[in-house]
Amino acid sequence: MQRALLLLSFIPFLACQPSSKNTQEKPSVDSTQTLVSELDSTSIDLVEKKATLGKAETITVTNDPVFHKTKTFEAIPLGNVLKQIPAYAHLKPEETQVVFECEDGYNPSMPLTKVISSKAYLAIRDKDAAAGEDWTTLQKGPETKKIAPFYICYTDGRGNDPTYKWPYNLVKISLTSASKETAALFPKHDDSVVKGYGLFKTHCLTCHALNGVGGTLGPELNRPKSVTEYWKTGDLKAFIANPERYRDRVKMPNLGLKKKEIDEIVGYLSYMAKQ
């Protein structure tokens, strides 16, 4: 399944190659270049910059929530990596969101203040890897997950708090304006769904977009039609509670949410359907 997703995410990439080549051959290169440099200035391609990301140290992560054991990595303090993003120096930390972009479309994000006030690291090598290799893979039920090329972890606990993200198979980090995300997703006209909005941001936005903002591992949930318009409410809630009850080999995990939390999230999705 993971493989299939990877392939899918490569198709647009491959499809882009010829056209970007074409643009380079045309004389009207200017606008493309501006766009590219703008994008570059708020993000860092970790794979491309691997050699210059910074000095790695050996760290120990107790109770790593991804590997479910204590792990040792070679890792670079994440703060040092973020500082290499050109826009970093001009951004206000309290208004900035860090978006972790994984190869398969999983895009979790965290407020920059939260990242820099924790002991976050960019792991570049697993000490348990075989000689000559950087990473081991991870067996999750029937699936084999690829941890390479990079993994975000913390040495100050944080494993039990779902607002701290531990993405693996990470390829890029971007900084975005938190207010842009809030403008697209915050329920401005209904206080009663604010709680659902917070839960959605923590548990769903990593994989799903709403109005184009968010992860791409799962489908967009609001555009052009909201899932609340074509799923019966009872089924929608039961699916979120346990996706495997609805589809074999489903790629959405059981998130272990409480019934009340699911009600709040679906309340928020129904509100967003009208926005």
Give me the half-sphere count of Cα atoms (radius 13 Å) on the Cβ side of residue 168: 15
92 to 131, contacts with ligand HEC by CB under 6 A?
none
What are phi and psi for residue 140, nearest 5 degrees? -120, 100
CA–CA gap between residue 259 and residue 238 (Å, rounded): 9
Minimum distance, C-beta of residue 133 to ligand HEC, in the bound complex (Å): 26
Could you tell me how many residues of this chain bind ligand HEC (CB under 6 A)? 21
Cβ proximity of 210 and 220 under 8 Å: yes
What are phi and psi for residue 164, nearest 5 degrees? -95, 130
Contact status: 201 vs ligand HEC (CB under 6 A): no
What is the SS3 string spanning 164-216? Answer: CCCCCCEEEEEEEEHHHHHHHHCCCCCHHHHHHHHHHHHHCCCCCEECCEECC
Which range in 17-25, 55-63, 131-139, 198-206 contacts ligand HEC by CB under 6 A? 198-206
Contact code string over 225-254 relative to ligand HEC, x by CB under 6 A: --x--------x--xx------x--xxxx-
Contact status: 204 vs ligand HEC (CB under 6 A): yes
Minimum distance, C-beta of residue 239 to ligand HEC, in the bound complex (Å): 6
Q: Which of 86, 157, 219, 256 binds ligand HEC (CB under 6 A)?
A: 219
CA–CA gap between residue 15 and residue 32 (Å, rounded): 17
Residues that bind ligand HEC (CB under 6 A): 203-204, 206-208, 217-219, 221, 227, 236, 239-240, 247, 250-253, 255, 257, 265
